[in-house]
Structure 1
């Protein structure tokens, strides 16, 4: 049996099955799901702040301003602070030197500046993070609020502070308690939960 010779005028490879071209690789096992059009799914939008959180953030900014005002008032009363330190140190040790009193006074000033600055920054930080709906920020704000109540009541019990400082401490105390009430309201809790869900990847 003989094969029929191909037509010399026919192009090479005519009538033969086409050579398979490159194939698209199969999607790897466990690949990420995609949304419409092959795009990755979008995370839900962050929920808007409820009125309780918006008010709490504003009051935290007020707390930062009050803390800054307390720091300024403390600087105004530095003269009486030095006298108080000198009197207390001489009562405990009559032979104390002036250089020791000056050193204690310098430490007192530095402590007031550092402590006051940290307090202002904490107010601003808590306003920022709670405004974003961070659940851990509400826990931190609660701990700081409780410590603020304890230290304020302790300072008022000791006494010996200026009237303006006492008034500012009381206002700050009431402000902190009211902020905590706002942060733990039902609508605030729903906001923290919804914000946490919006940050999850699907």
Structure 2
């Protein structure tokens, strides 16, 4: 009968998963989101809700008039202006619902400490801010657009404050350490 091989004990050696002293150590406590990240998350959720309310404004009489005015000079081919308004509404709702679902997904990932989600939210917010000042969109701005803009700008600022930066760095270190354990 053979005896099992004896493996050396690693006391005090540094290895990719951390410092092994007589066996694997736990990853330590998971970093908790600071108030700045929590506030940015709340602002993104509120911005999504305001945008959802805003998209339903296209179904009001004022929204219909704005769409009609924006599309009046469009070459519609064989489509009537009423059909074009209906298609525009449908596409608007579909795009907004998909966009908001992704937006909320990224907000949840950002709150979980994923830096890539913070970057994606920053880019999406910047694009949204820039597009709201573009030609035809600027003509149809509503209160919902302004509220969403303010929330997005505040959320971007909050995500890059010192506490937030430390949280994202700590979350990354926690995940890296947890991979090897």
Aligned to 1:24: 4
Write the distance in 1 (CA, Å) between the matches of 2:128 and 2:71. 28
Aligned to 2:46: 62
- Structure 1 unmatched runs, 5+: 1-20
Detail structure 1 runs of 4+ shifted over 6 Å in the superposition: 30-33
Aligned to 1:16: none
Aligned partners of 2:55 and 2:96 also within 8 Å: yes
What CA deviation, in whole Å up to 9, does each residue of 1:120-171 have, x standing for no partner?
2133112201110101111111111110110111157741x2xxx5211111
Aligned to 2:36: 52
Please show how residues 25-44 of structure 1 align to structure 2 within 5 Å.
25-27=5-7, 36=22, 38=23, 40-44=24-28
Aligned partners of 1:156 and 1:166 also within 8 Å: no
Aligned partners of 1:53 and 1:183 also within 8 Å: yes
Instruction: Select the residue among 122, 127, 146 that pairs with 2:126.
Output: 146
Q: Which has the higher strand share?
A: 2
TM-score by length of 1: 0.71
RMSD: 3.0
Q: Give the aligned length.
A: 170
TM-score by length of 2: 0.78
Shift of 1:43: 1.6
What CA deviation, in whole Å up to 9, does each residue of 1:85-142 have, x standing for no partner?
66323xx58xx54x35455334312320122112321331122011101011111111
